[in-house]
Chain A
Amino acid sequence: GENVEQHPSTLSVQEGDSAVIKCTYSDSASNYFPWYKQELGKRPQLIIDIRSNVGEKKDQRIAVTLNKTAKHFSLHITETQPEDSAVYFCAAIPRGYSSASKIIFGSGTRLSIRP
């Protein structure tokens, strides 16, 4: 069935280092992949997304890459800062964004930035 797997479940990096979170999806028709950041007690917030017609997208210190052949996509955070500490969720829309479809979320990665 439709599934998004995410790893690692927890990640601790030194401030200033890079963090990478990886996801795989099952529905090859998926064509839209958002990433959400959720701070403790707050709502998930969309931080970046990528569509299947591009392989990489960057916004300041965060970037996402997509490998449609392997059905993998990743979030990269460079020069990590304490405020990057949060839970990050990847997501995918099976059957494609132009179709009416739900959003499937990964199980989350708790990122901790060590000072």
Chain B
Amino acid sequence: DTGVSQDPRHKITKRGQNVTFRCDPISEHNRLYWYRQTLGQGPEFLTYFQNEAQLEKSRLLSDRFSAERPKGSFSTLEIQRTEQGDSAMYLCASSLEGSTGGAFFGQGTRLTVV
């Protein structure tokens, strides 16, 4: 599969626990985005990498959220001390700087905080 892959697909966690999600972008793509989507809403921007550099982080994102892309390939998104309001679909997308194509999404990780 040469598309964007995310792991896990589903995660159920208890409030207060930490969770970590992984995203593997399309191999030649140097841009990687994390979005959050709740039912009936459009994807909400969380953060964005170009290669290994995190270029922007949403001002709406609390300090409990952190993302890394250490080698400019896969990325991880960690949520510490999860809250029920964190329940959502977390989507990763990737794109290639300078290409004529757009960003392509992974299947997402559905997080449920109980």
Sort chain A's interface into a size bin. 20 to 34
Partner-contacting stretch, out of B12-20, B41-49, B63-71: B41-49
Sort chain B's interface into a size bin. 20 to 34
Known pairs A34-B102, A102-B33. 18 more at Cβ < 8 A?
A: A6-B42, A32-B102, A34-B103, A43-B106, A43-B108, A44-B43, A44-B91, A45-B105, A46-B101, A46-B102, A49-B101, A49-B102, A100-B55, A100-B56, A101-B56, A102-B45, A103-B45, A108-B40
Q: How far is the CA of A49 from the CA of B100 in the complex (A)?
A: 9
Number of A-B contacts (CB under 8 A): 52
Q: How far is the CA of A32 from the CA of B56 in the complex (A)?
A: 19
Q: How far is the CA of A42 from the CA of B9 in the complex (A)?
A: 12
Name A's B-contacting residues (CB within 8 A): 6, 32, 34, 36, 42-46, 49, 89, 98, 100-108
